Amino acid sequence: MRSQVVIVGGGPSGLLLGQLLHLAGIDTVILERKTRDYVLSRIRAGILETGLVDLMRNAGVSERMDKESFIHEGTCISYENELFAINFQKLIGQNVVVYGQTEVTRDLYDARDAVGAKTIFEAEDVRICDADTDRPYVLFAKDGAEQRIDCDFIAGCDGFHGVSRKTIPDTVRREYEKVFPFGWLGILSETPPVHEELIYANSPRGFALCSMRNQNLSRYYVQCPLTDKVEDWSDEAFWDELKRRLPEEVADKLVTGPSIEKSIAPLRSFVSEPMRWGRLFLCGDAAHIVPPTGAKGLNTAASDVRYLHEALTQYYRDKDIAGIDQYSETALARVWKAERFSWATTNLLHRFPDQTDFDLKMQRAEIESLHHNEIAQKWFAQNYVGLPY
């Protein structure tokens, strides 16, 4: 088998890259370790930056997003019993869109099916070979038989635990990581959102987040110790704790109900450099992880996709390798800015086990500066809606 580009990983970043390359006349094969149903069952964030919304439209997969998504012109932040809004539209003339990552993935699969592009599910034991030569290839097992795909380039969109990053030799790869000493306990419930905008809450009891998927599907989170387990938290205990972390005016309006999904996610910041080795390119979680504060995960993957799509298109259309040679440096420059925003917002809103009274006063001063300083709000808004590519 042969393809111009092999994409390892059938999540949203791999699918979006495949769709954009297809429109540029570039042949791709996607290898996905799991089944399609499994990929579509994963619950992820649903805040889309301006840049990702534009990419979806450029890829011709925005019809349902444009009809069903919710435009958010800002967000809210609370501390103790105070609640204030940061209006992106008023501050910088932009907004974000709420549209579930599962729906993004579904739309991209449907588009790939419509053009007959090849996706191989349950591809096991994927091995990336000779990526540092001009004749790379990928081996994998399917139904017990080994198969081979020869290609020009390989895009590693297979997440933090995938094979792509580990293919880059230890002597070349350098990794940076910060693990936060807490997690997010999240539930999904068929209840109306408590507020029209997202609420990020800092409280003496810890962080909380109120978000939504649609008008009758809400997503809520509370900061919890890493030692907690999902079974430690009944629905009643979750709702009671969430209310304690919100301003009274919000808590009084909260509609509760049975959870339909409950999980605990650890928080980490992680970057692997470089994002290119020979003809292998890393995209998204394969190269970097951000804590979910600020919703940069999928959006940062989308910026990688945009740079890589343009670089490969430039190569095939113009025989120009400049974009390929600059991909890692260009992508990492934006990645580190997204890492900074996620790290700063996480530090701003969470309670840390080793915080002193001085640290808490500084945190309070930072939040009040954001509350009352328009310049600080503009910086927050620019980063939240997404820095330009």
Of 79, 109, 327, 384, the active-site residue reads: 384
Q: Is 292 annotated as catalytic?
A: yes
Given phi > 0 = left and psi -120 to 50 = alpha, else beta, which region is 287? Answer: alpha
Of 72, 195, 288, 309, the active-site residue reads: 72
Q: Is 99 annotated as catalytic?
A: no
Do β-strands 174-189 and 259-273 pair in parallel, antiparallel, or remain unpaired? antiparallel
Convert 274-307 to b/e letters by CB count within 10 Å (16 or more is b). bbbbbbbbbbbbbbbbbbbbbbbbbbbbbbbbbb
Of 296, 307, 309, 327, the active-site residue reads: 296
* Distance of alpha carbon 78 from alpha carbon 208, whole angstroms: 9
CA distances from 141 to 32, 126, 226 (A): 11, 7, 36
Report whether 172 contacts 274 (CB < 8 A).
Answer: yes
CA distances from 278 to 25, 69, 259 (A): 23, 39, 46
Radius of gyration of the chain (CA): 21
Residue 231 is given by DSSP the state G
Of 12, 136, 193, 292, the active-site residue reads: 292
Q: Which two tokens stand for residue 125?
A: 């034991």
Q: Is 142 annotated as catalytic?
A: no
Of 137, 200, 307, 327, the active-site residue reads: 200
Report whether 275 contacts 282 (CB < 8 A).
Answer: yes
Catalytic positions, please? 72, 200, 292, 296, 384
